[in-house]
Amino acid sequence: MSRIILAPMEGLADNILRDCLTQIGGIDLCLTEFVRVTDKLLPKRVYHRLCPELLAGGATPAGVPVRVQLLGNHPQALAENAVRAMELGSAGVDLNFGCPAKTVNRSMGGAILLKQPDVVHNIVSEVRTALGPDAVLSAKMRLGYEDKSLALANAEAISSGGVNELTVHARTKVEGYQPPAHWQWIAKIRRQVAVPVVANGEVWTPTDYDNCRKVSGCADVMLGRGAVWQPDLAKQICQRDHLPYTWEQLLPRVDEFCQRVAEQVPEKFQGARIKQWLALLGRVYPEARQAFEQIKTIKPLTDIRRRLV
């Protein structure tokens, strides 16, 4: 049975958006924004802040499991924090070898580690040893940093290190988010490794989903920006008779999102959080683009909500 997984999009896919998207349906698993690990065991409050779902059985209010993602380069610290995440109730642990952010890469985290497959292997092995054989351990990688020359070596390093599954974002760090996504490379990796592979990159429509699965050979697909721009994309994929939401159908979800922001986000950041999602929704919904133009200079959340409804 195939799964649709929500990608761990830093600064975007927080628990508020995870709640909104999983309430709509079609998503089987969520990954958190990365928890940045240096050389220390992080306090529990860090996990609860980035993954409040840990306080509610490790799942969104819709019942979709949430898996904590860790980012760093210190094998022992990552191992200790992986154990902590599991103890707190995470639905497994995911390791980040794909973040393209310059600040992250300058600190030797994310995609830059793909320059050193032996380091990648050591991290995965150390975490697996700490977690034991039964815990779910996954990882997410890009095809490389500057090029794809080490893609297969990194995939094998991760697989042999002991993961249960590997997600591949089918672009290098240098390629960023520019199309196309090289799904054929995911197929190469899938043939190379002994663990299930999840395909990720450039899935914006149900047709893209079908083509991605066909080219990559993967049963499972991770959705990122496509699910943010079109919140019922996963539902469209799972229920082919489901007609895409109109703006009027989506508006109640946007208002619920605003309510969650009002409850959880500090007041000075509330307006920016709403505007961020509206701007992205505007890529699909002209009405969202118009709404963004109307509220982009407004700061109080109550005034923003009044304009939206």
Tell me whether residue 51 is one of the annotated catalytic residues. no
The Cα 289–Cα 282 span in angstroms is 4
Catalytic residue selected from 51, 99, 218, 258: 99
Tokens of 230: 């079109």
Which three-class secondary structure string do you get for the chain? CCCEEECCCCCCCCHHHHHHHHHHCCCCEEEEEEEECCCCCCCHHHHHHHCHHHHHCCECCCCCEEEEEEECCCHHHHHHHHHHHHHCCCCCEEEEECCCCHHHHHCCCHHHHHHCHHHHHHHHHHHHHHHCCCCCEEEEEECCCCCCCCHHHHHHHHHHHCCCEEEEECCCCCCCCCCCCCHHHHHHHHHHCCCCEEEECCCCCHHHHHHHHHHHCCCEEEECHHHHHCCCHHHHHHCCCCCCCCHHHHHHHHHHHHHHHHHHCCHHHHHHHHHHHHHHHCCCCHHHHHHHHHHCCCCCHHHHHHHHC
Where in the sequence numbering do the catalytic residues fall?
A: 99
